[in-house]
Amino acid sequence: MALPPLIADLRRRLGPKNVVHAPSELAVYDCDAFTVDRHRPDAVVFPHSTAQVVAAVETCSKHEVPIISRGSGTGLAGGCTPTKGGVVVMLTRMNHILELSLPDRLAVVEAGVPNIQLARHLAGTGYQYAPDPSSQGASTLGGNVATNAGGPHTLKDGVTVHHVLGIEAVLADGSILQVGPVEDPAVLDLQAVLCGSEGTLGIITKVWLRLTRAAENHRALRAAFTSVDDATATVSRIIAAGIIPAAMELMDRGILGAVEEAFHFGFPPDAGAILIIELDGPAVGLEEKQRQMVELCRSNGACEVLEAQTAKERETLWKCRKLSVGAVGRLSNSYMIQDGVVPRTRLPHILRRIAEIARHHQVRIVNVAHAGDGNVHPILLFDERDRDEVRRALAAGRELLDECIACGGSVTAEHGIGIEKIEFMERLFAPADLRAMRRLREAFDPHGRMNPGKLLPA
Ligand SMILES: Cc1cc2nc3c(=O)[nH]c(=O)nc-3n(C[C@H](O)[C@H](O)[C@H](O)COP(=O)(O)OP(=O)(O)OC[C@H]3O[C@@H](n4cnc5c(N)ncnc54)[C@H](O)[C@@H]3O)c2cc1C
């Protein structure tokens, strides 16, 4: 049987082994980690070079079909879900670190390099690429740029946009745009525009990343509190005391139970929440800051403070946070990780409201949070086979995001808008703001082919 013209053209331009179109294989690409909305693409292509990305884009233009960029598919907002069909462009075979120049503090990478691959490459050099999303073991640097990813250590170091020096991207007309890596304050900052554009402006193929000195000294502690209120209030008191930790992460009782059952870290049984706090910097003064930190935790109701004495103990403290989402599988067969942000001082309020919303919708919610940033990640547990549970979970998710807006925060701190949060854009932005964003998008992609239906409401 003759192949559909789109598939035949893709195979001709990219080579048959770089094109997937069998329905059973396409099922794998029907969603990202936001699993409640699934749509199959018409084809998936696996380019190995920017030239092959151009070929894919030109073919999609010819056949007037949507183009959806995809890294590792760890996105939590449906950003790479092909809601209108079309061709998914998988960047994961463009996975080479092209250049590492420590004197220039620069790494040049293809978009499909997993974040962890660069971190491992840099280990022992004294340098780091700072943004470390909790998904760094899988997510790609291109995906991190496209979502402007954050992570535990972005409290002190800033999010992805602060570490991108240059971007190469293939635009909807097949042309190749290169912005940076030379910093020129006199021109429009297109790097920043592309960061967080979720595949709607172009396909990112190469990135120039800023490297920074890795801290030589660290202090880490785990503070357990009987109540979430005490833990969250402590977060803003630490910042108010003038200390900016490298990271300040929160886990509540619900998630601690799952982690303890799976990995036995020895959390106090009456812990309502724990904070994992890390300080880094020059050795001088670090001890004193750690002492202040311990004191602040204790005076704010910590029932246990455990200080890591060795690098191994510090690693173990981090492990319990990094393994937390993996342990959620013990609690439920399906879950949705929400992402909202509030002013830090509103953390006690938002966590109380999350508990109320959970009760109201009869949905179990457990919490992790990049608490230092005011970034909450309520994890809503449900059974995907039960339509009513899915409906209640989605309703609870919407209500808690509305509450974040009411607190003066936003509906995403780091996971992006995708399809999941598009309905909130009109509540977050004034019509004039949205019009300006739409015009910008049209300037890059006049025919609306790049990831249609994402980020901006129609
Ligand atoms: C367990 C878990 C923990 C997480 N923790 C964090 C965290 O701490 N911080 C955080 O920020 N996020 C986190 N995330 C969310 C997710 O990992 C990030 O959004 C990540 O940056 C997505 O990278 P990816 O390669 O998987 O991209 P994908 O999921 O494949 O795509 C995400 C979006 O980017 C677009 N895109 C991907 N690659 C490109 C490209 N080359 N060019 C143009 N557009 C592209 C896609 O179209 C889509 O809109 C977490 C997710 C999970 C599952």
Over residues 273-306, the pLDDT tens digits come to: 999 999 998 888 899 999 999 999 999 999 999 9
Model pLDDT, residue 1: 75
146 CB near ligand 1 (under 6 Å): yes
Q: Which of 49, 70, 116, 190 to mutate to test the pocket of ligand 1 (most atoms within 8 A of CB)?
A: 70
Neighbours of 338 (CB within 10 A): 27
State the closest ligand 1 atom to the C-alpha of 149, by its place in the atom list counted from 1: 11
The list of the chain residues with pLDDT below 50 reads: none
For residue 278, the cross-strand partners are: 220, 247
Instruction: Give residue-wise pLDDT tens across range 339-386.
Output: 999 999 999 999 999 999 999 999 999 999 999 999 999 999 999 999
How many A from CA of 133 to the centre of ligand 1? Answer: 9
How many A from CA of 139 to the centre of ligand 1? Answer: 6
How far from each other are the two terminal CA atoms of the chain, in whole angstroms?
A: 38
User: CB-based burial of residue 58 (10 Å sphere; 0-12 exposed, 13-18 middle, 19+ buried)?
Assistant: middle
Phi-psi region of 106 (alpha: psi -120 to 50; beta: other; left: phi over 0): beta
The first and second tokens of residue 453, run together, are 């239906």
Which protein residue has the closest C-alpha to ligand 1 atom 37? 143
How many A from CA of 75 to the centre of ligand 1? Answer: 4
How many A from CA of 238 to the centre of ligand 1? Answer: 30
Q: pTM value?
A: 0.93
User: Mean pLDDT over all residues of the chain?
Assistant: 94
204 CB near ligand 1 (under 6 Å): yes
In order of their start, the domains of the chain are 5-90 (3.30.43.10), 97-213 (3.30.465.10), 218-325 (3.30.70.2190), 332-406 (3.30.70.2740)
Using DSSP bridges, classify how beta strands 87-90 and 43-45 pair: parallel, antiparallel or unpaired.
Answer: parallel
Which protein residue has the closest C-alpha to ligand 1 atom 44? 199
How many A from CA of 141 to the centre of ligand 1? Answer: 9
For residue 252, the cross-strand partners are: 273
User: CB-based burial of residue 380 (10 Å sphere; 0-12 exposed, 13-18 middle, 19+ buried)?
Assistant: buried
203 CB near ligand 1 (under 6 Å): yes
How many A from CA of 17 to the centre of ligand 1? Answer: 26
Model pLDDT, residue 172: 97
State the closest ligand 1 atom to the C-alpha of 70, by its place in the atom list counted from 1: 30
118 CB near ligand 1 (under 6 Å): no
32 CB near ligand 1 (under 6 Å): yes
Model pLDDT, residue 183: 66
The first and second tokens of residue 311, run together, are 């690098």
How many A from CA of 415 to the centre of ligand 1? Answer: 7
Using DSSP bridges, classify how beta strands 164-170 and 203-210 pair: parallel, antiparallel or unpaired.
Answer: antiparallel
- Rounded to the nearest 10°, the torsion over CA 100, 106, 107, 110 is -130
3-state secondary structure the chain: CCCCHHHHHHHHHHCHHHEECCHHHHHHHCCCCCCCCCCCCCEEECCCCHHHHHHHHHHHHHHCCCEEEECCCCCCCCCCCCCCCCEEEECCCCCCEEEEECCCCEEEEECCCEHHHHHHHHCCCCEECCCCCCCCCCCEHHHHHHHCCCCCCHHHHCCHHHHEEEEEEECCCCCEEEECCCCCCCCCCHHHHHCCCCCCCCEEEEEEEECEECCCCEEEEEEEECCHHHHHHHHHHHHHCCCCCCEEEEEEHHHHHHHHHHHCCCCCCCCCEEEEEEEECCCCCHHHHHHHHHHHHHHCCEEEEEECCCHHHHHHHHHHHHCHHHHHHHCCCEEEECCEECCHHHHHHHHHHHHHHHHHHCCEEEEEEEHHHCEEEEEEEECCCCHHHHHHHHHHHHHHHHHHHHCCCECCCCCCCCCCCHHHHHHHCCHHHHHHHHHHHHHHCCCCCECCCCCCCC
Separation CA 446–CA 356 (nearest Å) = 45
CA Rg value for the chain: 22
